[in-house]
Structure 1
């Protein structure tokens, strides 16, 4: 007798029981804003910034995102509280299977009414010392907060989400992939003799309005250090733990052997073009490369790290040809 037809319903039934058990399991997550009990494998997730969105994308969970917060989006990018199709399918947003999430404000000014109406079972956000609204968000749904200045910032956030969604193997795979890409590109730069010309690096973020920031942690600089560069500029007390505003005098004193990577913020905050027209920008032009991130890109994360490494390596090698 062929027992296979008889066994299939039993197997499918067992699988369904396992999935149901995983979804009802409650996990306790230690994050930068406290300890939070989270239901296993949430179905409706609100992310309050592109960093958290990038972690969801890396785990193949973009379709679980029902609400998206962003500082990049403007009223012209939205229609009826949703991202316009052209925006949804452009830049970093096209990296994952987003299903037309609602816009829920920014990481500093979340729209509580919209978030509540979405009935999320998990909220994920970046945070910083003195940030507000955690209690309000936690009354809507379990909320996890992560500081960019924290050790292993994006790896920690990614691994926590992987544990919640049962995606630990996938998380470790993508973390290793990002590290492997940096190692491969480091060998390319070394073989090309790049470090004989530039042994140090500084990452400058030119903002509209003529303010210049130097990143000291997380935002691109960590990938450049992994490629083999040393710090070319010591910044003062870091805002949000990742960088500080720098003076023109400090930039004019940079060594000619310090590579300057211009890494402008996205959207309306991009001041790279204006900076390059200034006296300081002209002075540093010969030792600078301009790296423009994808539209709506997070500053960090596994997918961003891989793109950073590959694109900046290409720019540097092209400059030295």
Structure 2
């Protein structure tokens, strides 16, 4: 299975640069994974595809304003860093630009002394471990100095930080949003619950590994970066009860999907657990927990495109994407949605 098997042509003008004024006003393509048939709808029509007793599983992670701009002490050179993983003792694994300026021992000043970082090690992929010093609460300083880490294909500045958060974002720790959830408003979620559909929460802190380009020709040789996830006991029971009663578990986003498939045991029971996952889902994967998926339209040759191809079939996905291009759907993080069910 080659990476190039997951390529498709996308006109640049279809890459959504800004979120819609109304979160739920996006379009929705329904894809039948068995037949490959598609329907063109609006996102609020999602209610027509859900049944009482089903369970929607959402990822309640919260994006932190993880992009920081600073100055290297001694030379005053500009340094950009992206916070990736929180370690102990105010140490973070970070992506640094330009990396060549940041050898071990380099000190970086942010916000004219409000925050200081010292490079203490260089790890996998050239990422830097930086130890921060500051007065006060780190999250408040980050909110003051940091920017939302929008993907590189979005060239516009985001006016409202909250538009890169789901309305149910709760647990801080992500370097990117679980974007399938951006389509939901509190009102729409209320309508979902009112019709007898359960909503379960899991947490996966999205790292850049999810969006890491596949640089190998053979898909099986790609290695995912690990991401931290949590499945609570009561939420595992809610999801297991859904399966036991013969109803469907529908994942909101690939991150919720990866969490569920990381925490399910071979007997098909979801376990309450927390830890790190580097699960890589591509065609040939057997889903034990997820019956359906709400997702966005993903980059060519990406691990996310491979995941949806595992669920619906590569040929069905690529045909649906060609149709989405013909119909002028909006792609990627602020784009339109697809329901595979």
**TM-score normalised over the length of structure 1:** 0.30
Higher strand share: 2
Higher helix share: 1
**TM-score normalised over the length of structure 2:** 0.29
Bigger RCO of structures 1 and 2 (CA < 8 A, at least 6 apart): 2
